Amino acid sequence: MNDVANPLAALRSGASSAEAESFAEARVALAVRGATPPHVPMRRVLLTCSGLLVTEVAVMLATDQSLHDTLLPGYLILMVAFALVFCLGAVTVAGFPAGAAAAGLVALEVGNLLPLLAGAALLALVCGVAPGWARVEAWQAAHTKPLTSEQEAAVAQRGLNGDARRGWAPGVRLRNYWRADRVLAAFLVLAFPPSIMAFALWFVGWTATR
């Protein structure tokens, strides 16, 4: 059975550049077919954050701090925790509480906006190379795009050879490609809430004083 020709075994000699590119994409698609998204224990993250928040608020109230000083570190804890989950754990929804917490920080002090935007840019750059996102994208692509007939044949061949553990084509690994579009999108997700909050505060204040 092993002598069955595998269409993805090697690029034929004399192939055009377009064919070579298509061939490389097909091999990557096949290799990542078994990729799974990173599993982040969100329940544990939520419990840890809640514990930290409760402790922080209790300490601040016990030391007779103002509401402003109590909320500031609280928002900071939420923002950092969920921003890290968003960037490293590749969980889209974590961007929501991270952004909301950043908006809360801006509501407390509008001057926080610029440092927050700088932080969002830094985290977005991390998203550009984060391996978690590459795994999620590979997993999603494998679940939304049907294989071509060539890839189906290669999968069948892999089954015949009993090699179902990894990508059929030797040397093909899931690599972290720099994704500039992902960086921009991540920046928007993280930076939009504090920006709209700052704009809303400015606009309402401006119209009230005109």
Q: Which is nearer to another protein, 71 or 90 (CB)?
A: 90
Is 94 within 8 Å of 186 (Cβ atoms)? no
Widest pairwise Cα distance in the chain: 82
Query: Would you say the C-alpha torsion 44, 49, 53, 59 has a positive or negative sign?
Result: positive
In terms of Cβ atoms closer than 10 Å to its own Cβ (0-12, 13-18, 19+), residue 126 is middle
**At closest approach, how far in Å is the CB of 32 from another protein?**
13
What ranges in the chain are assigned the alpha helix state H?
17-31, 42-62, 67-89, 95-108, 113-129, 131-144, 149-161, 180-209
Is 176 within 8 Å of 134 (Cβ atoms)? yes
**At closest approach, how far in Å is the CB of 13 from another protein?**
21
Helix axes 67-89, 180-209, angle to 10 degrees: 160
Q: What is the DSSP letter of 163?
A: -
The span from the first CA to the last CA of the chain, in angstroms, equals 82
**At closest approach, how far in Å is the CB of 44 from another protein?**
15
**At closest approach, how far in Å is the CB of 158 from another protein?**
15
Q: Which is nearer to another protein, 65 or 148 (CB)?
A: 148
Is 37 within 8 Å of 135 (Cβ atoms)? yes
Residues that bind another protein (CB under 8 A): 37, 42, 91-93, 95-96, 99, 136-137, 140-141, 143-149, 179, 181-182, 184-186, 188-189, 192-193, 196, 199-200, 203-204, 207-208, 210
Q: Which is nearer to another protein, 60 or 116 (CB)?
A: 116
**At closest approach, how far in Å is the CB of 90 from another protein?**
9
Q: Which is nearer to another protein, 57 or 84 (CB)?
A: 84
**At closest approach, how far in Å is the CB of 131 from another protein?**
15
Q: Which is nearer to another protein, 59 or 204 (CB)?
A: 204
* CA 63 – CA 58 distance, rounded (Å): 9
* CA 136 – CA 91 distance, rounded (Å): 9
Q: Which is nearer to another protein, 37 or 73 (CB)?
A: 37
